[in-house]
Chain A
Amino acid sequence: MGASGYILRRLGYGVILLLGVVVLNFLLIHAAPGDPAEVIAGEMGGATQEMMDKIRADYGLDKPLIVQLGLYLGGVVTGDLGESYFFNQPVIELIGARIVPTILLVVAAQMIAITLGVGMGVLAARRPQGAWSAFVSVFSTIGYAAPVFWTGLMLIILFASMLPLFPVEGMESARFSGGPILYALDVLHHLFLPALTLGIIFLAQYARLSRASMIDVLGADYVRTARAKGLSERKVTFKHALRNAVLPIMTVAGIQFGNLISGALLVETVFNWPGMGRLAFDSVLRRDYPTLLGVLFFAALMVVVANLLTDLGYRLADPRIRTGGSRK
């Protein structure tokens, strides 16, 4: 099967999956207790029965559920996610303003977790009985066990009061003046702590996994062959062994993308990061169903895209998958 055929097929699955997610989310939210019309009326400081009826009619809440679903799906297909009950603004605009910071945060966290985690694991695997290896095991257990909001608060305490090196709030400096390069550096500066907080839990996991995977691979026959060629230990480790050891890490990293996005919600709250997490949190409290559905839709979209990219990366990294051969 050619690469383009494979991509098309996977895209098709992705679309079906997304529609399924939309339907499920819609039904789940409408099964939950609470009436949006009452919440809207509450915001207005109370309303008569006539006003309630008008609100329901305006937002289409008086129609049967199945019709509401049909209308919503029709909207989604044409790129219309409805209008926020709270902001009176199209949901797509609300999300559009917040999705970039969230993607930035999630991708940065994933990159920190993978590079540091794999680096730590690989170094630990070179001397599995050594002190560094023991440190990596302990560190990754703690990192994995610690809740993300606790890690975030600890980092805030460390970097806000003890060592004020990094900003702990927001995405950009309040009074910023400078060119685009300085702006990018300013955002990176703000990004560091939230991304590290979100990354640590996954970093710990990747460190453990890559240590185990690397120890396994370093004992493989083809690593002995690489040494027998006369390659340096560095080339043996980083070219011949690592290329094989990262395969299971790629799989796990792809699976973890969903968890990363839900973790981002907490981290955004702790660091006041202007992403979708805060919006999701608030729309739950406000029964702002269109906004909540929109956020969930985009989260699902991000997971589907991430998984597709992971699978494509996997095909590049492992020729056995590419040709559909047996794994030996």
Chain B
Amino acid sequence: MDPLLSVRDLKVEFDTRHGRVTALAGISLDVMPGETLGIVGESGCGKSITALAMMGLIPNPPGHLTDGQIVFEGEDITRASPRRMRQLRGRDISMIFQEPMTSLNPVFTAGDQIAEAIMLHQDVSKKEAWEEAVELLRVVGIPEPRRRAASYPHEMSGGMRQRVMIAMAISCRPKVLIADEPTTALDVTVQAQIFDLMRDIQEKFGVAIVMITHDMGAIAEMADRVAVMYAGRVIEQGRADDILDDPRHPYTSGLIGCIPALGREAASAERLPPLAEIPGVVPPLHLLGAGCAFADRCPLVHDRCRRERPPLAPHGMAAQEFLGGHAVACHAAEREIAA
């Protein structure tokens, strides 16, 4: 099966006070139709920039997309005109954001904001768009959708606002839905409800979801495949089950170690480095050296890691298939396999 959305060697740079820094240093990802791809990493790893690049919304200036391609249904959208991008945005590729409290415009009603997206991409009257908006609010599980369509954002809770965002995002039946930390700002019960809703939506509309998160728990909950990002690179990629059960990169192990243990098998827990938290922070992008960006925080670091950056290499798999398989960028993992 061909990927629906394919990111190839994408490079994004930002102008900062420290000169031009690389936010994405050539990443490659595939999104298959109808699947959920999780992109996981800490703040500053480039996961949100990846999402904005897929939307063609990298702020320029200061951002520059300097190399690579983003191919959506055979079209390289990094070369698309602004007009073409506006057609795709919201219609074929749509997005929901981290902050439901501030992501809706406070001076327009929920129904108006959804109907606006519908009228923009479909040839319908205002009345039809409004009816469709009410129907969408019902689909995303908002009680009394007709009354709620006339409500303003400040009259709704955070969970309800996120449902409105989702209704807006799916209003034109997109093929890809990018969700940037969709539940981070919500409390735990509401998180679970939003995940349920996203799974429902996926089943109902067959939309592929790109879920961006720092929370391996959310990955375990939602993702079919996972890309782990660190300092502007993908450092491990594979099927969610493989990565959760058998993480190869010490950073991925660390992230999994950060999930509160709720009946995770003792056998796999023994193989993880004992990391309840990962010491240190992501290095500032302008200070990255030639070696592995994780070296200073890595429990398995050795000399080679500081000299030479490990490539994203397939693990037990033919090279041409690695994007579909399990790949890792780590010298230590390679040694382990060789041994």
Contact = CB atoms under 8 A, between A and B. Distances in A.
Contacts of A243: 105, 107-108
B70 to A, nearest CB: 16
A272 to B, nearest CB: 44
B161 to A, nearest CB: 10
Contact of B154 (A225, A228, A326): A326
Contact of A224 (B57, B85, B101, B154): B57
A244 B106 contact: yes
B102 to A, nearest CB: 4
Interface stretch (A8-16, A48-56, A92-100, A315-323): A315-323
A230 B91 contact: yes
B105 A228 contact: no
Given A224-B57, A228-B89, A231-B120, A318 B107 contact: yes
A240 B105 contact: yes
A225 B107 contact: no
B65 to A, nearest CB: 16
A147 B107 CA distance: 37
A225 B101 CA distance: 12
B105 A222 contact: yes
Contacts of B94: 228-229
B106 A319 contact: yes
B160 interface: no
B91 A323 contact: no
Given A228-B89, A229-B120, A323 B155 contact: yes
A232 B97 contact: no
Contacts, number: 82
- Chain A interface residue bracket vs B: 20 to 34
B86 A225 contact: no
B162 to A, nearest CB: 12
A76 interface: no
Contact of B104 (A225, A230, A232, A320): A225
B106 A320 contact: yes
A100 B19 CA distance: 60
Contacts of A220: 102
Interface in A212-251: 220-222, 224-232, 240, 243-244
A320 B154 contact: yes
A225 B142 CA distance: 20
Given A230-B121, A319-B106, A224 B87 contact: no
Interface in A228-281: 228-232, 240, 243-244
B103 A328 contact: no
A229 B97 contact: no
Interface in A295-328: 317-320, 323, 325-328
B160 to A, nearest CB: 13
Contacts of A327: 154
B135 interface: no
Interface in A12-44: none
B57 A227 contact: yes
Nearest to A222: B105
A320 B88 contact: no
A194 to B, nearest CB: 35
B203 to A, nearest CB: 23
A230 B88 contact: yes
Interface string B94-126: 110101011111111100000011001100000
Nearest to B116: A229
A327 B103 CA distance: 14
Contacts of B97: 221, 224-225, 228
B195 interface: no
B314 interface: no
A231 B152 CA distance: 20
Which of A226, A230, A319, A323 has most B Cβ within 10 Å?
A230
A229 B105 CA distance: 12
Contacts of A244: 105-107
Nearest to A243: B107
B182 interface: no
A228 B57 contact: yes
A60 B99 CA distance: 69
A248 to B, nearest CB: 13
A244 B117 CA distance: 19
A222 B102 contact: yes
A9 B178 CA distance: 49
Contacts of A317: 107
Which 9 pairs between the two chains have the least Cβ-Cβ distance?
Answer: A230-B90, A230-B89, A229-B90, A221-B102, A222-B105, A325-B154, A319-B152, A230-B86, A221-B103
Given A231-B86, A244-B105, A318-B106, 5 more contacts: A225-B168, A228-B97, A230-B85, A230-B91, A319-B154
6 contacts: A224-B103, A228-B57, A228-B90, A229-B117, A325-B152, A327-B154
Interface of B: 55, 57, 85-91, 94-95, 97, 99, 101-109, 116-117, 120-121, 152, 154-155, 165, 168
